Amino acid sequence: FSQSILQVVFPPEIRFAILKIIHRICNWFSAYCYYDITEIDGVNTNELYNAVQLYLSSYACVTGNRLSLTRGLNSSSITFGLSNNDSLIDAFNGVKVHWEHVVTPRNSQTFSWRPLPEEKRGFLLRAKKKDKSVVLGAYLDFVMEKANEIRRKNQDRLLYTNSRGGSLDSRGHPWESVPFKHPSTFETLAMDPQKKAEIMADLLDFANGESFYQRTGRAWKRGYLLYGPPGTGKSSMIAAMANFLGYDIYDLELTEVHTNSELRKLLMKTSSKSIIVIEDIDCSINLTNRKNNSSSSSSYNVSPPGSGGVGGSNSEDGGGNTITLSGLLNFTDGLWSCCGSERIFVFTTNHIEKLDPALLRSGRMDMHIHMSYSSFAALKILLKNYLGYSEDDVEKELLDQLEQVMWRAEMTPADISEVLIKNRRNKDKAVWELLETLKTRAERNDNKSNNNAGKSKKNNTIEDEEQVKRALLVESPKEGGGDELQEKCDKEKGHEVNDDEKANTKR
Ligand SMILES: Nc1ncnc2c1ncn2[C@@H]1O[C@H](COP(=O)(O)OP(=O)(O)OP(=O)(O)O)[C@@H](O)[C@H]1O
Ligand SMILES: [Mg+2]
């Protein structure tokens, strides 16, 4: 009201001066201090504004009766916010603050290099003068931290891949991303509950361990090696880790990386709070000893012959078209690995025995996790997930039989879930069929081990021969050795490599 009277009576300059004096006098006697957090600060977007909006959303959804709703890009959930000119009170460590969302029309004469929104938005924070230091320090830090947490929870994780083979996109990024919506969580993951709890605790310690890593002078990163037969949940575990911590995933396809320096560039373009994954590491790179890598024979040549690259050269960088174990180790462990923070490296393999000890030494892959054939405890989780059965829903006798036959059957969680999915409409049948399948498998395994015992001597010699062959293969990889390696690996995983695929790999 006073402003409108002033507008009528005085010219703008005097009006402005009078208002300023009135404000000063009011402020002098007021017990409160006020802070404006505007949406746009000069030409930049004010991060604090967005953070406050998100932070208040966690309160507004409970207390407010008029809310604004937003759904961000890449997000599958809705956030609530204070509507225009609404207010609420927040408390922090015994300090009360008052938030108001102030929206006013923008002066159309304002000049700007970029289009500005028609409305001027901002939050007005009011607090007692005596609480000024708490509000400006700890409280605003708390708001920022909470906002980041909410942002991570709301935003779908991204899955990045380097499948373009080193080429950059229009913004100079070597990674392509898609929203990551894998539903696997630690709850749905069938494995020994104790081991699961250990892994979850380890992940939490890592995520909350900034000060620990700082204090001990270690780079804030952690390595997990997941090993075990196909179908035991290694990939599902990675998805569960990402969902648990709210991290993005960088799925690194090593066969698409041609040089160590390219690998380094890829690493530099990863963000913090992410999981960098190399699946089937024994298949993607010839993991011979680092010492051997210095000789021209042992690095894994991923360049197709005649591609114009320095095929067969093993020089680490400098145009060399190879990627070596030492390059990979530098990637995970060297100085370059800390050009960012809070990152987890996960390698998976079906054959841990094929990996170089350099990769396994402690401090490099901090935790080795064996994903084994399904145990009885894991089976119970699968029964609960797929059939909704708890222990009490299955006859005691049936459960005992399942428990007895479980280990001998060596069935992976993937195999078991197949049987359960197939019969999920008839739950009792599902359990019986599962028992039958387990028994058949157990018998087959028993027979196999009996036969093997008889032939053990003969097998030993065959194994020796195989080892010699493998050693020879490792010592003298030929051009295109990568293809052979991939083929071998694919065969082991039970999938035939057809000619198209071969052609693609060569391309
Ligand atoms: N431990 C598990 N808990 C729950 N489901 C599982 C588990 N292991 C496997 N599965 C199921 O089997 C399927 C295959 O599992 P996954 O891809 O995680 O296996 P993997 O160990 O990564 O196999 P590979 O070595 O072939 O990559 C998944 O879709 C999942 O539904
Ligand atoms: Mg997998």
- Report pLDDT for 109: 56
Distance 173 CA to ligand 1 centre (A): 31
8 A C-beta contact, residue 228 and residue 350: yes
At position 70, the amino acid (one-letter code) is: T
Provide the 8-state DSSP code for 320.
B
- Confidence class for position 299, pLDDT limits 50, 70, 90: very low
Ligand nearest to the CA of 237: 1
pLDDT tens profile 87-109: 888 888 889 999 888 888 766 55
- Confidence class for position 76, pLDDT limits 50, 70, 90: low
Please give the ipTM for the structure prediction: 0.98
Ligand 2 ion: residues within 5 Å (CB): 234-235
Q: Which residues of 102-121 are buried (b: 16+ CB within 10 A; e: fewer)?
A: beeeeeeeeeeeeeeeeebb
Pick the atom of ligand 1 nearest to 229's CA. Answer: 25
pLDDT tens profile 171-191: 567 888 888 888 899 999 999
Pick the atom of ligand 1 nearest to 414's CA. Answer: 12
Ligand 1 neighbourhood includes 234 CB (under 6 angstroms): yes
3-class SS of residue 268? helix
In the chain, where are the structural domains located?
Answer: 28-154, 157-370, 375-447
pLDDT tops 70 at residue 117: no
3-class SS of residue 441? helix
Q: Which residues of 334-372 are buried (b: 16+ CB within 10 A; e: fewer)?
A: eebbeebebbbbbbbbbebeebbebbeeeeebebebebb
**What is the Cα–Cα distance from 113 to 109, expressed in whole angstroms?**
13
pLDDT tens profile 339-377: 667 889 999 999 888 888 878 876 678 899 999 999 999
CATH code: domain 157-370 is 3.40.50.300
pLDDT tops 50 at residue 317: no
pLDDT tens profile 403-461: 999 888 999 999 999 999 998 888 889 999 999 999 999 999 888 877 777 666 555 55
Residue identifier of the C-alpha nearest atom 13 of ligand 1? 414
Ligand nearest to the CA of 375: 1
In which residue are the tokens 């990551």 written? Answer: 180
Distance 170 CA to ligand 2 centre (A): 31
Q: What is the mean pLDDT of the chain?
A: 76
Q: Which of 224, 235, 373 to mutate to test the pocket of ligand 1 (most atoms within 8 A of CB)?
A: 235
- Report pLDDT for 348: 94
Ligand 1 neighbourhood includes 283 CB (under 6 angstroms): no
8 A C-beta contact, residue 273 and residue 247: yes
3-class SS of residue 186? coil
Distance 489 CA to ligand 1 centre (A): 18
| Of the candidates 216, 72, 82, 50, the residue with the CA atom closest to the CA atom of residue 146 | 50
Pick the atom of ligand 1 nearest to 279's CA. Answer: 27
